[in-house]
Amino acid sequence: MRVAGAVLLCLAAGLTTGCAGLAARAAGGFAEDLAGAIVNQDDPELVRDGLPAYLLLLDSLAADGKPSPAVAGAAARLYAAYAVVFVTDPGRAAVLGARARGYGDQALCAAAPAACELRALQFPEFKARIDALGPKHAAALYAWSVGSLAYVRTHADDFKALAELPKIEAALERLAVIGTPADQPSVNTFLGVLNTLRPEALGGKPERGREYFEAALALAGDKDLSIKVEYARQYGRLVYDRELHDRLLNEVLAADPQVPGYTLFNTLAQQSARDLLATADEYF
């Protein structure tokens, strides 16, 4: 990581004025390099053990309460990943999920001042402000969405958290319009999950969810194995389609997980695929 050494040196020196300026300028590149190192790692345990140090580093870069969209966005994404993927204690996951959501709020507010305090708005005004965002706001809106999803996932028993799902879905639908091509597989996967949280009889939209999963697969090809896992877990199990469920998961296990930019996610996806297949007879 080409700037990590400089940033760490500045932090060790106590973030003098000069170092703080260097850290601010380097943060965008640092976040990109850090993300690249993480997603290309094939040892999830190493990431789990090492990620807290980088979370503390990002906290330090955001300590003045006015982080750049790049710093806040990176913190939202990494806290979300750590809380959802690597933390098993519910109470600790809830705290980290709240931190992810908070950084997502900061990222979007810094990128688009009109989007500050979105959570306090009623849905029509919320959607109007989200729909006013353009491509230059896409990265911050993505961070806001990921942080929000992590919060809901780690506060599953909180009805107030669940009430945020329509707003998150609206944000993701806007990202489907303004987001970069690289974001679209994830955006469609998130939308697929949101539409398959409940059976159709209880207000879910499983067939719409299936369309989002298929769109995600068409966009990502065979690079991102986590899409097939979520497709099987969310849609296959919801509609009791054992054939689709097992086919998707066996395809995941047969694939090579070593894909630049996806290795970590693919390694974790294969672990999940084994677990889901092991419990399939009980479920179906």
Q: Determine the average pLDDT of the residues in 173-185.
A: 94
Give the model's confidence band at 41: pLDDT under 50 very low, under 70 low, under 90 confident, else very high.
confident
Residue 15 has pLDDT above 70, yes or no: no
Per-residue CA distances from 134 to 138, 179, 187, 241 (Å): 7, 9, 16, 39
Residue 188 has pLDDT above 50, yes or no: yes
Global pTM value: 0.84
Q: Determine the average pLDDT of the residues in 233-251.
A: 97
Residue 184 has pLDDT above 60, yes or no: yes
Structure tokens at 208: 């719409």
Phi/psi-derived region of residue 213, left when phi > 0, alpha when psi is between -120 and 50, beta in every other case: alpha
Q: What is the pLDDT of residue 40?
A: 83
Q: What is the pLDDT of residue 17?
A: 36
Domain 181-284: state its class: mainly alpha
Q: What is the pLDDT of residue 12?
A: 34
Q: What is the pLDDT of residue 23?
A: 43
Mean of per-residue pLDDT scores for the chain = 87
Q: CA nearest 152: which of 212, 193, 115, 211?
A: 193
Domain 45-179: state its class: mainly alpha
Give the model's confidence band at 112: pLDDT under 50 very low, under 70 low, under 90 confident, else very high.
very high
Question: Hey, which of 58-62, 104-108, 194-198 has the most confident mean pLDDT?
Answer: 104-108
End-to-end CA distance of the chain: 46
Domain layout of the chain by residue ranges: 45-179, 181-284
Q: What is the pLDDT of residue 28?
A: 53
Q: CA nearest 75: which of 143, 137, 141?
A: 143
Equal CATH topology for 45-179 and 181-284: yes
Q: Determine the average pLDDT of the residues in 130-145.
A: 96
Q: What is the pLDDT of residue 4?
A: 37
Choice between 63 and 209, residue whose per-residue pLDDT is larger: 209
Q: What is the pLDDT of residue 134?
A: 96
Residue 133 has pLDDT above 70, yes or no: yes
Q: What is the pLDDT of residue 53?
A: 87
